[in-house]
Amino acid sequence: QCLQGLDFLHSNHVMHRDVKSLNILHKTDGSVKLADFGFSAQLTSEQSRRSSVIGIAWWMVPEIAKAEPYGPKVDIWSFGIVGVEMVEQGVPYGNKSPLSAQFLIATKGTPELQQPKLLSPSLRDFLSCCLQTDEARRWSAKELLQ
């Protein structure tokens, strides 16, 4: 359901820019909602990318950590980090300060899973598609939904 929400946002040229576990609300009926659009940004034909450094360090995408221009796929990276957080009960570099975590994301890129053999091959592949350091190789929400 989160990917459907991200696909809707991205197809309407909106980036959430703050996808993290705290912003995914679980309802009693089992559905989920993406919340907190305070950092969201509308993209236009004149401004199809952003460059402001925004977000919480542990869910931050490498291109933001390096202060490079970025597009909607920043949300996909952060969604992948939420997936890692769910299976490992913590975010990568969660034991580091925000500045250290941002530095490690900028320099090391994709975090290593602590116990990858405990995950199914399909889940490892899914996370890999989300956590590509090269934005061009990172899948879109639409591609992940297929």
Catalytic residue among 18, 36, 75, 134: 18
Domain containing residue 66: 2-145
**Residue 75 among the catalytic residues:** no
CB contact at 8 A, 130 and 77: yes
How high is the mean pLDDT of the chain? 94
Q: How many residues does the chain have?
A: 146
Contact 65, 102 (CB under 8 A): yes
Contact 105, 47 (CB under 8 A): no
How much is the pLDDT for 53? 85
Q: What's the whole-number mean pLDDT along residues 50-55?
A: 86
User: What's the average model confidence in pLDDT over 51-80?
Assistant: 92
- Could you report the per-residue pLDDT of 3-48, keeping only the tens digit for each? 999 999 999 999 999 999 999 999 999 999 999 999 999 999 888 8
Contact between 2 and 32 under an 8 Å Cβ cutoff? The reply is yes
Residue 89: exposed, middle, or buried by beta-carbon count in 10 A (0-12, 13-18, 19+)? Answer: exposed
Give the count of domains, the chain: 1
Pairing of strands 32-34, 41-42: unpaired
**pLDDT level of residue 66 (50, 70, 90 thresholds):** very high
pLDDT tops 90 at residue 56: no
- Residue whose C-alpha is closest to residue 132's, from 51, 63, 55, 58: 63
pLDDT of residue 71: 96
pLDDT digits (tens, 9 = 90+) for 83-101: 999 999 999 999 999 999 9
**Which pLDDT belongs to residue 54?**
84
Residue 52 has what pLDDT? 87
User: What pLDDT is attached to residue 127?
Assistant: 97
Domain holding 20: CATH number? Answer: 1.10.510.10
